[in-house]
């Protein structure tokens, strides 16, 4: 299927009239196209073919460019309609793909680091490198050099040549196709075999920002944003920082110390609260035990039943503690047989083993307590 690939002649074409050569499923093959089909990590284009929405462009097994249409009616073979590109989508990924060429070129030329694999995301571009370790200052220096090359506005262009000629260029990455090869050049910096679509100048990338690294398959994978995504990332970081400064009445010199102090204070307070809760629970438990003459010690607490777990065995009799309405937890210390009896009569969810049972109840706390006391006293 011979579709003329116009984006190789002009990557900036946004509209063209094209004729349907074939319909395959819900996709059309056209006599010419400005839509790039997903390949090499660069997503397929989308847009419109006449009134039909093109949701994606993919290459079929035989290499045909499938313009995949939104499910519904289809144009007929021979129809000639206007193909129009979702330019914002294409241009964003064109810039990101070109940024990847630039970053990989800088890594290789200035730091001797190769590129193993790449992934283009909506916001983040990842480049898996050949290195087992790269220091952060090296990555920041790569960011600096790449931004310098962006400011220089270096020309990016593609040239189709014989395999032999391409081989003679000694490119940083081996050629993966047979026959003629499309080679993408960044003026005075890089040449690599690539069938993708690229911007015409590094200046269009606007800027790149280093976002972090992680280890994968024993290699360092680096993360970047470029163009509008880079600007958005920087501005969002600024905004978040300003919000933190305001919340903590801090500035750039004090914020880390302030957060460290808050974390420490919080730890100290949690420890104090735990101690106090334990003391309150002990007092409440003792008081209840002193005033109880019933064969079972049962009461409603404002505390958490958790606080009584270590105390219940001191009662010398069955214990049932119920949290006040709202929290709805219970703790029962007694026999499994009696617990099952309780479970059968009042609405309890939960369990335990041996002598300690925990969970949640449903209904009114006072009512659950009085029914339970009667059942446990029988």
Q: Which residues bind Zn ion (CB under 5 A)?
A: 184, 194, 196
Closer residue to Zn ion (CB): 94 or 320 = 94
* Of residues 180 and 306, the one with the C-beta less far from Zn ion: 180
Q: Are 322 and 302 in contact (CB under 8 A)?
A: no
| Closest CB to Zn ion among residues 12, 245 | 12
- Could you give the CA distance from residue 124 to residue 140 in angstroms, rounded to a whole number? 16
C-beta of 197: minimal distance to Zn ion in Å?
8
Nearer to Zn ion, 100 or 147 (CB): 100
Nearer to Zn ion among residue 194 and residue 319 (C-beta): 194
Per this entry, what is the length of the chain?
A: 378
Q: How far is the CB of 263 from Zn ion (least distance, A)?
A: 46
Shortest separation between residue 244's beta carbon and Zn ion, angstroms: 39
CB closer to Zn ion out of 43 and 196: 196
> What CA–CA distance (Å, rounded) separates 333 from 353?
10
Alpha-carbon gap, residue 41 to 19, rounded angstroms: 28
Nearest distance from C-beta of residue 270 to Zn ion, angstroms:
54
User: At closest approach, how far in Å is the CB of 85 from Zn ion?
Assistant: 18
For Zn ion, which is the closer residue by CB, 93 or 330? 93
Closest CB to Zn ion among residues 47, 196: 196
CB of 191 to Zn ion, least distance (A): 11
User: How many CB atoms lie under 10 A from the CB of residue 153?
Assistant: 13
* Least CB distance to Zn ion at residue 220 (A): 22
**Residue 184: CB minimum distance to Zn ion, A:** 5
Nearest to 179 by CA among 37, 93, 63: 63
């Amino acid at each position: 299927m011979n579709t003329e690939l116009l984006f190789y002649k002009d990557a900036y074409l946004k509209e063209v009239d094209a004729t349907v050569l074939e319909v395959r499923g819900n996709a059309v093959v056209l006599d010419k196209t400005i839509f790039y089909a997903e390949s090499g990590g660069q997503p397929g284009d989308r847009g419109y073919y006449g009134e039909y929405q093109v949701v994606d462009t993919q290459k079929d097994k035989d290499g045909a460019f499938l313009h995949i249409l939104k499910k519904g009616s289809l144009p007929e073979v021979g129809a000639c309609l206007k193909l129009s590109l979702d330019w914002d989508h294409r241009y964003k990924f064109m810039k990101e793909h070109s940024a990847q060429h630039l970053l990989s070129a800088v890594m290789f030329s200035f730091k001797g680091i190769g590129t193993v694999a790449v992934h283009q995301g909506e916001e983040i571009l990842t480049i898996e490198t050949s290195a087992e370790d790269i220091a952060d200052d090296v990555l920041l220096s790569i960011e600096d050099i790449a931004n310098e090359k962006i400011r220089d506005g270096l020309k990016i262009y593609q040239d189709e040549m014989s395999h032999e000629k391409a081989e003679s260029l000694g490119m940083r990455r081996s050629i993966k196709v047979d026959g003629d090869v499309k080679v993408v050049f960044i003026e005075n910096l890089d040449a690599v075999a690539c069938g993708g679509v690229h911007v015409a100048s590094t200046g269009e990338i606007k800027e790149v920002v280093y976002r972090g690294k992680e280890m994968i398959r024993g290699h360092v994978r680096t993360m970047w944003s470029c163009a509008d995504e880079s600007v958005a990332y920087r501005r969002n970081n600024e905004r978040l920082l300003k919000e933190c400064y305001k919340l903590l009445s801090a500035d750039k010199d004090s914020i880390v110390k302030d957060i460290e102090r808050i974390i420490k204070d919080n730890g100290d307070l949690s420890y104090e609260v735990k101690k106090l809760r334990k003391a309150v629970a002990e007092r409440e438990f003792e008081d209840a035990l002193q005033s109880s003459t019933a064969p079972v010690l049962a009461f409603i607490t404002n505390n958490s039943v958790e606080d009584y777990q270590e105390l219940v065995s001191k009662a010398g009799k069955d214990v049932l503690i119920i949290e006040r309405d709202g929290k709805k937890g219970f703790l029962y210390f007694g026999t499994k047989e009696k617990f099952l009896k309780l479970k059968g009569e009042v609405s309890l969810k939960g369990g335990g083993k041996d002598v300690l049972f925990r969970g949640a109840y449903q209904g009114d706390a006072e009512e659950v307590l009085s029914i339970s006391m009667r059942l446990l006293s029988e």
